[in-house]
Amino acid sequence: MSMSLQEERRIQEVRGSYILYLPKEWCKDLNLGKGSRVLIRRVGSRLVIEPSEAPRIKLYSDIDLDEIREDSIYHILISLYISGAEQIRVVTKKQLSGEVKKMISTYIKHMPGFSIFDEAKNFIILREVRRGSELNTIVRRIILNARSLFEHVIKIYNGERAEEDLEELDNEIDAIRREAERVFNIMLTSPGLDSDSKILQKSYIMVQIARVIERISDHLVAIAQYAESSENDKAKIYSMLSNIYSYYTMIEELIKQNLQEEETGRKNRESLRKIISRLVDLIESKKKIHEMVAEAGLEKDITAYHIMRIYDYITDIAEYVLDMIAVSSLITRS
């Protein structure tokens, strides 16, 4: 018979104090006894009781190479990483080939914070050696990297050489997005998560922003590739890219302003009003951007499609920032 996860208990009054008796089975399962200390927290209209020294949940997983194809290793590793695994053991009954070891050493570069912890003839253990940054910091990093990528692509259409490997920069942006998703999934298993429901809502929005920025970077890389392989009107595309870049830097500035106000707790109503106004203007400019593409005569140019998708994603980010502001304004009432 499975243990109940919810019970209703009547509060007793003894000598002027209120007494609540905890289910004996729960106490045994959580190693609570006479003299144990518990933490009682008020969360809105709820009371939450938990052990003062609750053990941190650890997530381990094994990958049995005898049961999967070798070309599945990367995808499984990345999925486990994003899901929040702290240790992943890759094991086989046979001896690990040098090729598989080399593959895993390459794949781990796509898993920020992980490294090879131990290995033998028939297994490799990957373990988290560095906890991920806070989501605010991660989002700032991915925004900066995407801006750098944007600037390099603009330079290419201006006849200049890119100073960095764009594919490598794009891969780094992908890795940062995965780190954001991992941090969020780890948050879901944190005992103190319910101390403020707004934290989870805002964190979800931050992860969505990181995902959208990764998609922007994919389109930028595609635009860079067309510069080398097609005879398009580079001058017109350079002008359009520069225009869209101004919108990207605008949304970057608005995100920074909003995060700064969130972190300091200093919310200036006039500043907030201006941020909201600029966000709405950005979203409502979509028609103007479509007209700009049409006037440039680039409707049939594949790069114009990618540029339009970038702008669409920028407006998506603007909507997410508005969502974050809305969450901050919510007031809990019982």
CATH number at residue 206: 1.20.58.220
Residue 314 has which token pair? 């920028």
Position 318 scores a pLDDT of: 94
**Ranges 32-41, 104-113, 209-218, 236-245, most confident:** 209-218
**Secondary structure of 157-217 in HEC code, one letter for each residue:** HCCCCCCCCHHHHHHHHHHHHHHHHHHHHHHCCCHHHHHCHHHHHHHHHHHHHHHHHHHHH
Same domain, 283 and 303: yes
Position 231 scores a pLDDT of: 62
Same domain, 99 and 204: no
- Give the mean pLDDT of 156-174: 87
Residue 200 has which token pair? 């989870």
Position 146 scores a pLDDT of: 96
DSSP lists the bridge partners of residue 61 as 88
Q: Is 138 a residue whose pLDDT tops 50?
A: yes
**Percentage of the chain modeled with pLDDT above 70:** 90
Top pLDDT among 229 and 237 is at 237
What mean pLDDT, rounded, does the chain reach? 86
* Those residues with Cβ within 8 angstroms of residue 288's Cβ, 6 or more apart along the chain or in another chain: none
Position 4 scores a pLDDT of: 67
Same domain, 194 and 67: no
Query: Coil, strand or helix: which one is 315?
Result: helix
Q: How far apart are CA 333 and CA 284, in angstroms?
A: 34
Does the residue 2 lie in any domain?
A: no
Top pLDDT among 289 and 62 is at 62
Same domain, 73 and 201: no
Same domain, 298 and 179: yes
Does the residue 7 lie in any domain?
A: no
Q: How far apart are CA 294 and CA 300, in angstroms?
A: 10
Same domain, 139 and 66: no
- Give the mean pLDDT of 246-270: 83
Q: What is the pTM of this model?
A: 0.81
Top pLDDT among 51 and 309 is at 309
Domain span including residue 294: 135-329
DSSP lists the bridge partners of residue 42 as 47
Does the residue 1 lie in any domain?
A: no
Q: Is 212 a residue whose pLDDT tops 80?
A: yes
Same domain, 119 and 150: no
Q: Is 266 a residue whose pLDDT tops 90?
A: no
Does the residue 334 lie in any domain?
A: no
CATH number at residue 107: 3.30.1370
Position 65 scores a pLDDT of: 92
Same domain, 166 and 285: yes
| Helix-, strand-, coil-residue percentages of the chain, each rounded to 5 | 60, 10, 30
Tokens 């599945």 found at: 72
Same domain, 233 and 88: no
- Please tell me the least confidently modeled range out of 142-146, 256-260, 266-270: 266-270
- Give the mean pLDDT of 268-276: 83
Confidence of residue 230 (pLDDT cuts 50, 70, 90): low
Show which of 76, 97, 128 is a domain's final residue. Answer: 128
Q: Is 191 a residue whose pLDDT tops 80?
A: no
Task: Please state the φ and ψ torsions of residue 202, each to the nearest 5 degrees.
Answer: -65, -40
Q: Read off the amino acid at residue 307.
A: I
User: pLDDT, tens digit, for every residue of 44-82?
Assistant: 667 878 887 766 667 899 999 999 988 899 999 999 999
Same domain, 100 and 207: no
Strand arrangement, sheet containing 87-91? 60-64, 87-91, 123-128, 114-119
Cβ–Cβ < 8 Å for 103, 93: no
